[in-house]
Amino acid sequence: MNATVLEVLDQRATWDTSPLPDIQLTTPKLDEASLVAVNFEDPEDNAAVVGSASSPRLSRVQWVTPAVVAQKSGVVLRQPETVVLAILVLEDGQVGEVQMTRSCGSANVDAAAVQYARALRWLPGTKEHRPQAMRISLPVIFSPV
């Protein structure tokens, strides 16, 4: 049986062969005298910094989604539900205090929104280029699957 598979693979390999074009790559020239600095930082770390202050923002990498938190919490949705939270993002990007500013009317959905907010990863806000604890408003939207 293995021999048959090898024969088919070999036969396919001959069907799709075509020569590759000869491509010449050139290296751009760099005037080293005009080079001021090389930045090896992650661009995400400073992308929203304008001047000396920036607000907290969500990290691009998140380990949770509202749908997963709702499912683990046993929340069954018939329509989209929105909960608005006030979150304190600490200097290290962790979530501090979480307050509900607008409930959706369901205690289970509200609790799932708070649980979701506590699991988020943040890049802290800055003031004079130093991380600062800042409060932000976060709408959490749960949609039926």
Q: What is the pLDDT of residue 144?
A: 82
Q: Pick the residue with more confidence: 25 or 93?
A: 93
> Would you say 104 and 83 are in contact if contact means Cβ atoms under 8 Å apart?
yes
Q: For position 85, what pLDDT does the model report? A: 95
**Is 70 exceeded by the pLDDT of residue 138?**
yes
Report whether pLDDT(103) > 70. yes
Q: How far apart are CA 50 and CA 71, in angstroms?
A: 38
Q: Tell me the two tokens of residue 46.
A: 């400073």
H/E element, 141:
strand 134-142
Q: What is the pLDDT of residue 86?
A: 95
* Other Cβ atoms closer than 10 A to 110: 19
CB atoms within 10 A of CB 20: 5
Confidence of residue 143 (pLDDT cuts 50, 70, 90): confident
pTM score over 0.85: no
Rounded to whole angstroms, the Cα distance separating 27 from 140 reads 48
pLDDT at 140 > cutoff 90 = yes
Look at the block and give the residue holding tokens 């799709």. Answer: 16
First-to-last alpha carbon distance for the chain, in angstroms, is: 44
Pick one of 3.40.50.2000, 3.30.2420.10, 1.20.1260.10, 3.60.10.10 as the CATH number of 51-145.
Answer: 3.30.2420.10
